[in-house]
């Protein structure tokens, strides 16, 4: 199983790196901010 686990970890790493890289070019819109505020709860202590 060891070779399969190593390959799976590498695949996950490549996928997450690619996803993060795709976010770099995105612009946050006012609609995005409104959505975040609507569905996010913040608790202050």
In whole angstroms, give the CA distance from residue 32 to residue 38. Answer: 10
pLDDT score of 34 = 92
Q: Which two tokens stand for residue 28?
A: 């946050």
Q: Which two tokens stand for residue 2?
A: 């060891």
In whole angstroms, give the CA distance from residue 44 to residue 36. Answer: 17
Domain coverage including residue 28? 3-42
Sign of CA dihedral 16, 21, 24, 30: negative
pLDDT tens digits for range 27-39: 889 999 899 888 8
pTM of the model as a whole = 0.41
Q: Which two tokens stand for residue 37?
A: 């505020």
| Residues of the chain with confidence (pLDDT) below 50 | none
pLDDT score of 30 = 94
* C-alpha of 42 from chain center: 20
Q: Structurally, how many domains does the chain consist of?
A: 1
């Amino acid at each position: 199983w060891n070779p399969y686990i190593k390959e799976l970890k590498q695949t996950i790493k490549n996928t997450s790196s690619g996803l993060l890289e795709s976010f770099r070019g995105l612009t946050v819109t006012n609609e995005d901010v409104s959505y975040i505020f609507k569905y996010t709860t913040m608790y202050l202590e």
